Amino acid sequence: MFDLIGEGSFAESLPADPARAAGVRQVQGATHSWVAPTPVSSPRVLAWSDAMGEVLGINSDQALPLLAGNAVPDGFKPYATCYGGHQFGNWAGQLGDGRAINLAEVRGTDGQRYEVQLKGAGPTPYSRTADGRAVLRSSLREFLCSEAMHALGVPTTRALSLVATGDTVVRDMFYDGNPAPEPGAIVCRVAPSFIRFGNFELPAVRGDHALLRQLFDYTVNTHWPDIDPQAPDAVERWFTDICRRTATLLAHWMRVGFVHGVMNTDNMSVHGLTIDYGPYGWLEPFDPSWTPNTTDLPGRRYCYGNQPAIAQWNLSRLGSALTPLVDDVQVLQDALAVFANQYTGDTQRQFGQKLGLPEDAPPDAVDALLKPLFDLLPRTEVDMTLFFRGLADVPTAQDAAEDALLAPVLPAYYDAGMLRDDLRADTTAWLRQWARAVHEQDAETRKHAMNAANPLYVPRNWLAQQAIDAAEQGNLDPLHRLQRVLAQPYTPQDGADDLAARRPEWARNKPGCSALSCSS
Residue among 141 and 446 whose Cβ is closer to ligand AMP: 141
Q: Is 133 in the site for ligand AMP (CB under 6 A)?
A: yes
Residue of 17, 266, 296, 346 marked catalytic: 266
Does residue 102 belong to the site contacting ligand AMP (CB under 6 A)?
Answer: no
Question: HSE of 263 in the Cβ direction (CA atoms, 13 Å)?
Answer: 30
Q: Are 10 and 110 spatial neighbours (Cβ–Cβ below 8 Å)? A: no
32, 86, 99, 446: residue in contact with ligand AMP (rule CB under 6 A): 99
Long-range contacts of 28-31 (CB under 8 A, 24+ apart): 28/206, 28/208, 29/208, 29/211, 30/82, 30/211, 31/81, 31/82, 31/199, 31/211, 31/214, 31/215
Residue 451 binding Mg ion, by CB under 5 A: no
* Residue 99: CB minimum distance to Mg ion, A: 9
Closest CA to 243 of 326, 327, 344: 344
347 binds Mg ion per the rule CB under 5 A: no
- Counting residues that bind ligand AMP (by CB under 6 A) gives 15
Stretch that binds Mg ion, among 31-39, 218-226, 261-269, 341-349 (CB under 5 A): 261-269
* Residue number closest to ligand AMP, CB atom: 98
User: In the complex, which residue's CB is closest to Mg ion?
Assistant: 276
Residue number, 105 or 276, with CB nearest to ligand AMP: 276
Burial class (CB in 10 A: 0-12, 13-18, 19+), 405: buried
Run of H or E including 103: strand 100-107
Interaction partner, residue 99 (Mg ion, ligand AMP, none; CB < 5-8 Å by kind): ligand AMP
Give the C-alpha separation, 88 to 266, whole Å. Answer: 11
Q: Which residue lies nearer to ligand AMP by CB, 186 or 262? A: 262
266 is catalytic: yes
- Per the CB < 8 A criterion, the answer to whether 135 and 151 are in contact is no
Tell me the closest approach of the beta carbon of residue 166 to ligand AMP, in angstroms. 18
Phi, psi for residue 165 in degrees, rounded to 5: -90, -25
What string of DSSP letters covers 247-286? HHHHHHHHHHTEE-S---GGG-BTT--B---SS-EE--B-
Q: Please state the closest distance from residue 276 (CB atom) to Mg ion, in A.
A: 4
Is 452 buried (19+), middle (13-18) or exposed (0-12) by CB count in 10 A?
middle
Pair 200, 239: CB distance under 8 Å? no
C-alpha torsion 48→52→58→63, nearest 10? -40
CB of 249 to Mg ion, least distance (A): 16
> Nearer Cβ to ligand AMP, position 32 or 481?
32
Which of 98, 324, 372, 411 forms a contact with ligand AMP (CB under 6 A)? 98
> Which one of ligand AMP, Mg ion, none interacts with residue 208, CB within 5 to 8 A by kind?
none
CB 120 within 8 A of CB 134: yes
Q: Is 267 in the site for Mg ion (CB under 5 A)?
A: yes
CB of 439 to ligand AMP, least distance (A): 47
Q: Are 30 and 82 in contact (CB under 8 A)?
A: yes
Single-letter amino acid, residue 303? C
78: amino acid identity, one letter: P
Q: Return the number of the residue (80 or 235) whose C-beta is nearest ligand AMP.
A: 80
Q: Which of residues 232-291 bind ligand AMP (CB under 6 A)?
A: 262, 267, 276, 278
Compare residues 5 and 136 and give the one whose CB is closer to ligand AMP. Answer: 136
By CB under 6 A, residue 69 contacts ligand AMP: no
Q: Choose, by CB under 6 A, the member of 43, 96, 261, 390 that binds ligand AMP.
A: 96
Instruction: Answer yes or no whether residue 146 interacts with Mg ion by CB under 5 A.
Output: no
Residues 187-226 that bind Mg ion (CB under 5 A): none
Part in contact with Mg ion (CB under 5 A); list of ranges 76-84, 199-207, 264-272, 509-517: 264-272
Q: What is the smallest separation between the CB atom of 201 and Mg ion, expressed in angstroms? A: 13
CB 144, min distance to Mg ion, A: 18
C-alpha separations of 400 from 225, 370, 409, 419 in Å? 55, 22, 15, 18
Rounded least distance, CB 517 to ligand AMP, Å: 12
Contact between residue 447 and residue 392 where contact means Cβ atoms under 8 Å apart: yes
Q: Does 95 bind ligand AMP (CB under 6 A)?
A: yes
Residue from 182, 276, 284, 383 that binds Mg ion (CB under 5 A)?
276
Task: Give the H/E segment covering residue 163.
Answer: strand 158-171
Q: List residues with catalytic annotation.
A: 266
Return residues touching ligand AMP (CB under 6 A).
95-99, 126-127, 130-133, 262, 267, 276, 278
Return residues touching Mg ion (CB under 5 A).
267, 276
